[in-house]
Structure 1
Amino acid sequence: MIPLCIPEISGNEWKYVKECLDTNWVSSAGSYVNKFEEDFAKYIGSKKAVVTMNGTAALELALRVLGIGNGDEVIVSSMTFISPVNTIRYVGAEPVFVDACRDTYIMDAEKVEELITPRTKAIMPVHIYGHPVDMDKIMEIASKYNLYVIEDATEGLGSVYKGRELGSIGDIGCFSFNGNKLITTGAGGMLTTNNEMLGEKAKYLSTQTKKVLENGAFYHEEIGYNYRMPNLLAAMGCAQLENIERYIEIKRKNANLYNTLLSDVKGITIPVEKDNVKNVYWLYSILVEDEYPLSRDELIYKLRENGIESRTFFMPVHKMPPYVGSRHGDMLITNEISEKGINLPSSVGLTDNDIIKVINIIKSI
């Protein structure tokens, strides 16, 4: 089986995790927690980074430190994994869904402004599958209406927008390190920001708002959250981060081979890379158009029969039962690409022969 996207464990992961076990620093007080935060902030280009138990926790913390809650609205993609949308509801706010771009699959920044009301407090662009959202436009709108910007940069880790790493442009950036992400800690997440006060607030909330008094007692001034990352996972994150540039290079090389071999296949639309951006191609994503002999799902089944795992695009969140009735704009593009989109194998360990096998099946049809 050629898997869709599995982790690459080929660096100092065993060494660093063993050190945690040998020294008994396995929980959230170990040195690797601080090191992972510092190394990640330096890589992203942010002043502050805060590790969390997962990416969802990072997104919820972002909303809470910005004071977003009951009665507020957050404009967000519908073409996304459901996690960022759920966190909006966690804090009592309401999601407002915006349509996607057909060529890049990400939030259509040109359609955001029409959805703004007096209740709108933030925009949450999601850089799905690796391509950056048009952040200049998003930041322009946010400035005009005094809105916060929270980037869900999980799938865009390693992508660059006009010289800046994703997750360092908005007020807050959020990342997940789940097993299929560019770098992984098994579980875990990260919040990044250039506002040190927001970063300190996020750290405070994520560690149960714990203050240690002179006599060693714990004192809590407000409700906090146990969103800490254990030292074991942070150790793995440090090892993974050491190899991130190599992973990015491989991802882009593989995408280039896919593009070359699929460019002449009628009925297959390949992903793009807009000017002044660098697409990490976290997942290599195509559209199966009406001209192709098989439907999208039929192609998925055909690939599976030949030992190749693939996956549909995300189903639109505005069509999910918890969010039916939520406010949204015209969702024609989102609805269309969700029915035509397919993600092909994209692991860092993918070989040229693996890609050629996938392409040969697509072409044989």
Structure 2
Amino acid sequence: MKSFLLICTLLLSCFALRAQTKAIPDDLFFKGSLNEAIAKGKAENKRVMVMCSATFCGPCKQLERDVYPTPEFRELRDQNNLIMIYYHDLDKNDPDGIHSRFKIAAYPSFIVLDTDGNEMVRIAGCASGLKTFCDKINGILQPENTFEARKKQLQEDPSCAFEYIQFLREAFLKKELEETMYKLLEQGPLEDYFTERWWKSYYDYVTFLDSGVFQYMVDHPKEVITVIGKKKYNEFMFNRINRMINIRVTGSHKKYGEVRQIVQFIDAHPQFATPLSRFFKENIDVAESKDGEKLFEKALSWIKKVDTETRDIISQVGVSGFNFKTPQEIAPYIVKMMKQCSKYEKDPKAKEMYEKTIESYSRYLN
């Protein structure tokens, strides 16, 4: 009997909690296509806010639970004279071609269109809390925060460059951000763009070859070295190359095609070669093959294995420290490291791969 009562109590609690979760009002979002929403907006002199979400997006679900059902969110819509159209599962269904039309790079994304359907401004990501989120949306809806207004402000006052770059980052407009960054560095003065604030907010997040600052530093090494010094320049370039590779070969979504692009870049610019990039150059075919992926993951873990002797070798080689630039300087340490790491496995295929790698670097020893 007690067990029965306990079960009933738990069930009632679950129903009570479910009842407390408010549903999104049926009339909150526009029902119809994007073109129909734009036509309605033009007829009623209203802007359209395109709201992009995905089924796997945790912050999107948080907004559905804590923000969209609230009267405050409806008030935000009405006070700003908006038509809202919500795509809740763009990862599975995209009837209006939203991805190709707006180049969605992150979820959630919010894109504001004028009465003619032209993009005025966008923001990506989710601010936590109802008030913070509404304040953020209200902020981007202000006339001074449209793309055109921000660009004009930058042209008239170059000192607001940092704020403009942050603005593009929040919108996840990578292409425009990188192109703008390159132009800013070209215009100079360089001293203004190599301050601590710029390093922490932008340069430390460079993740691929198309980065504006990375491209500028490749194209204009002398100018940059004059400002920051050769040591910091080399550390940045070697660090970025290794990070570009690492984030593409770890995790569930490996991007070996982009690793090949990095290897090709190193072939064209050997002065930026790192031990890790050379390791991938020698073994990328093995890594990318179906049979070789697990083997390669083992190899990568061996390189990073932490015991006292290997840690010292890794530090010298540059997997976590970036001290060497030429094959001749790297070779003795690579050979030593590979021999040290190979003791952890007796896999014949692994041995063969290590022997080939050691052989490839041994030619630089003499």
State the TM-score, normalized to the length of structure 2.
0.27
In proportion to residue count, which structure has more strand? 1
Higher relative contact order (CA 8 A, sep 6+): 1
What's the TM-score once normalised by structure 1's chain length? 0.27
Larger Rg: 2
